[in-house]
């Protein structure tokens, strides 16, 4: 199996300040990063955008696993103690594999308290209103009314069926329908004009409506990129359709996690570093859209 490692510009020793790492295939994860920074202002953060390999959404699963592992290693080497996969595709396809087959050995090798967390568990907790540990007791249960959750995502996330499988285990009266949007993240990255994006989104909302037979009661924008066109989803969906907000759900879940796990050192000097496997500077236009202002990226 190919082992992908990013070129490591600066290796941080164990003695250096620890931080929260945030990983995404691109700059879409900045929407999640911003919510985390607001929630943990004193913590040190390091963000890695794997722009050299984005988009992840249509890649084979094994590649997504290897790329995500390489991203985690880069962030751990730069001082992260916890890496948050802000990318739905990486969370859906790589997270469990990495937690089960790679992370335990890597922890032993480095002798550090480290973890990798994802964005899907917090989203499902927000969608079901139930803690992750909850599994439905199905004995003799009669389901009277079913709410429908629509999930717009990359083909990788939709193909994993993670939302369908995990919600079905926990909440029988919530049916999930995923709508893969193969071009949307790329169009957003390319800064396509709003009319093009609106038409693309309206097409997916209509395709989902036809498949369900009606519009969903609630929706998840299950790709970090979609957050910046949330207004176009709101226009295409029936007025008032609630959207589950992944950045806030992830910040809420992380706050609960750190309360249970005080062993993780998150730093305390409010440091912010931004790394890209792509070319620093090229992401400037998009960063303004995702972050609301300029940021300086370094080569990873
Ligand atoms: N950021 C990724 C996600 O949330 C989507 C973009 C990509 O395909 O790389 O799934």
What is the side-by-side strand order in the sheet with 272-276? 115-117, 80-85, 19-24, 45-49, 272-276, 298-299
List domains and CATH numbers for the chain.
Answer: 15-121+248-299 (3.40.50.1860), 129-245 (3.40.50.1860)
CA 60 to chain centre: 18
31 lines ligand 1 (CB under 6 A): no
Closest ligand 1 atom number to CA of residue 119: 4
189 lines ligand 1 (CB under 6 A): no
pLDDT of 284 strictly over 50: yes
Distance 223 CA to ligand 1 centre (A): 5
For 235-279, write each residue's pLDDT tens digit: 999 999 999 999 999 999 999 999 999 888 888 899 999 999 999
CA 279 to chain centre: 22
Q: What is the 3-state secondary structure (H, E, C) of 7-52?
A: CCCCCCCCCCCCEEEEEECCCCCHHHHHHHHHHCCCCCEEEEECCC
* Two tokens, residue 25: 């295939």
- Tell me which of 198 and 190 has the higher pLDDT: 198
The helix (H) or strand (E) run that includes residue 99 is helix 95-101
* Cα gap 183→143, rounded to integer Å: 36
Q: Are 247 and 222 in contact (CB under 8 A)?
A: no
Mean pLDDT of all residues in 192-216: 96
Q: Given the structure tokens 């249960």, which residue do they identify? A: 141
Distance 59 CA to ligand 1 centre (A): 11
For 56-87, write each residue's pLDDT tens digit: 988 999 999 999 999 999 999 999 999 999 99
* Cβ neighbours of residue 100 closer than 8 Å, sequence gap 6 or more: none
Mean pLDDT of all residues in 198-222: 98
pLDDT of 6 strictly over 70: no
Distance 192 CA to ligand 1 centre (A): 16
Q: What string of DSSP letters covers 46-71?
A: EEEE-TTT---TTS-HHHHHHHHHHH
Q: Catalytic residues, which ones?
A: 87, 223
* Cβ neighbours of residue 40 closer than 8 Å, sequence gap 6 or more: 20, 254, 255, 258, 266
Residue minimizing CA distance to atom 2 of ligand 1: 87
Q: Given the structure tokens 């429908």, which residue do they identify? A: 148
Mean residue pLDDT of the chain comes to 90
Q: Round to the nearest angstrom and report the end-to-end CA distance of the chain.
A: 23
Mean pLDDT of all residues in 177-195: 91
Q: What angle do CA 69, 73, 75 make, to 5 degrees?
A: 115
Cα atoms found within 13 Å of the Cα of residue 141, Cβ hemisphere only: 10
Mean pLDDT of all residues in 180-193: 90
Residues comprising the chain, all counted: 300
């Amino acid at each position: 199996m190919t082992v992908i490692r990013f070129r490591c510009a600066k290796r941080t020793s164990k003695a250096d300040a620890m931080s929260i790492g945030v990983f995404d295939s691109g700059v879409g994860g900045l929407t999640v990063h911003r919510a985390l920074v607001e929630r943990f202002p004193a913590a040190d953060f390091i963000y890695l955008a794997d722009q050299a390999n984005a988009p992840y959404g249509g890649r084979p699963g094994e590649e997504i696993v290897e790329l995500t592992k390489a991203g985690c290693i880069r962030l751990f080497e730069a001082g992260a103690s916890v890496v948050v996969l802000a990318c739905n595709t990486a969370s859906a396809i790589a997270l469990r594999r990495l937690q089960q087959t790679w992370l335990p050995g890597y922890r032993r090798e480095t002798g550090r308290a480290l973890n990798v967390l994802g964005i899907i568990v917090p989203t499902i907790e927000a969608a079901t209103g139930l803690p992750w540990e909850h599994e439905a007791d199905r004995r003799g249960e009669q389901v009277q009314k079913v709410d429908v959750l629509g999930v717009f995502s990359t083909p990788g996330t939709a193909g994993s069926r993670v939302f369908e499988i995990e919600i079905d285990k926990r909440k029988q009266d919530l049916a999930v329908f995923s709508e893969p949007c193969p071009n949307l993240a790329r169009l957003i990255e390319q800064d396509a004009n709003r009319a093009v994006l609106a038409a693309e989104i309206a097409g997916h909302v209509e395709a989902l409506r036809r498949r369900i037979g009606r519009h969903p009661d609630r929706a998840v924008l299950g790709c970090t990129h979609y957050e910046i066109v949330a207004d176009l989803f709101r226009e295409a969906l029936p007025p008032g359709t609630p959207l589950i907000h992944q950045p806030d759900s992830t910040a809420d879940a992380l706050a609960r996690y750190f309360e249970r796990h005080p062993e993780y050192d998150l730093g305390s000097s409010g440091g912010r570093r931004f790394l890209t496997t792509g070319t620093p500077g090229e992401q400037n236009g998009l960063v303004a859209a995702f972050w609301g202002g300029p940021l300086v990226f370094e080569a990873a």
